[in-house]
Structure 1
Amino acid sequence: MANFSRHDVRRGLSGLRWPLALTRAGMVAENLWQATWPLVTVVLAVLAVLMLGLQDSVVVEVVWGGAVVGAVAVLAALIYAFVRFRLPTRMAALVRLDETLPGRPIQALMDTQAIGDQDAASTAVWRAHQARMAERAAAAQAVPADMRIAQRDPYALRYVAALLFGVALIFGSIWRVGSVNTMTPGAGTGLASGPVWEGWAESPRYTGRPTIYLNDIPAGTLDVPAGSLITLRLYGEVGALTVAETVSGRAGEVPPASASEQDFTVIQSGEIAINGPGGRTWSVAVLPDKAPNVAILDAPEASALGEMTLPYEASDDYGVEAGEARITLDLDAVDRRHGLAIAPEDRPELTVSLPMPITGDRTDFEEALIEDFSEHPWANLPVSMVLNVLDAAEQQGESAPRTMILPGRRFFDPVAAAVIEQRRDLLWSRENATRVAQILRAVAHRPDDVFRKEVDRLRLSGAITRMETLARYGLTDEHQEDLAQDLWDLALSLEEGDLADALERLRRAKERLDQAMRDGASPAEIAELMRELRRATEDYMQQLSRQAQQENQNGEQNPQSGDQQNQMQMTQDDLQRMMDRIQELMEQGRMAEAEQALQELQEMLENMRVTQGEGQGNQSAGEQAMEGLSETLREQQGLSDQAFRDLQEQFNPNAQAGESQGNEGRNGGQGQGNQHSQGGEGQGEEGDGQEGGEGGEQADGQGQGDGSLADRQQALRDELSRQQGNLPGAGTPEGDAARDALDRAGRAMDGAEEALRQEDFAEAIDNQSQAMEALREGMRALGEAMQQEAQNGQQGQGMSDSDRRAEAQDPLGREPGSNGSVGTEEGLLQGEDVYRRARDLLDEIRRRSGDGERPDVELDYLKRLLDRF
Structure 2
Amino acid sequence: MGGPDPLRVRRAVELTRVGMWWEELARAFWPLGVVLALSLTAIAFGGAEALSSGGLLWFMALVVLALLATGYRGFRRFRKPSRDAALGRVDATLPGRPLSALRDHVAIGAEDDGTVALWQAHLTRMRNEANAARMVIPDAKLRWRDPVALRLVGLAAIVMTLLFAPSGRFGQGIAALGATFRPAPVAPSTLENAPSWEGWAEPPSYTRRPTIYLNALPEAQALELPKGSKLSFRLYGEGAGVTQDIGAAVSGGDPAAPEFIAERDGLVEVGGRQFPITVVPDAAPTVQPVVAADRRADGRFVQPFAAADDNGVVSGSAVIALDLSTIDRRFGLSVAPEPREPVRIELPLPATGSRKDIRGQLASDLSRHPWANLPVTVALEVVDGIDQKGSSPAVRMMLPGRRFFDPLAASLIEVRRDLLWSRENASRSAQVLRAVSWQPDGFMDPALAEGLRGAIGTLEAGPLTEEARNKLAQVLWDAAVALEDGGLADALERMQQAQERLSEAIRNGASPDEIQRLMDELREATDAYTDMLAQQGQDPSEKFDRSPQQGQQITGDQIQKMMDEIQRLMNEGRMAEAQELLDQFNRMMQNMRVTQGQGGSGEGRQRPMNRLADTLREQQKLADEAMRQMQDQYGQFQPDGQNGQGSEQSQGLADRQRELREDLGRQRGLMPGRGTPEGDQARRSLDDAGRAMEEAEQALREGDPSGAMERQAQAIQDMRDGMRALGEMTARNQQQGQDGQPQQGQQDGGPDGPSSEGNGPRGLAENYRDQPQLDPLGRSTEGNGGSITTGDQLAEGGDPSRRARDLQDEIRRRSGERERPEDERDYLDRLLDNF
Answer yes or no: same fold by TM over 0.5.
Answer: no
Return the TM-score normalized by structure 2: 0.45
Rg (Cα) greater in structure: 2
Return the TM-score normalized by structure 1: 0.43
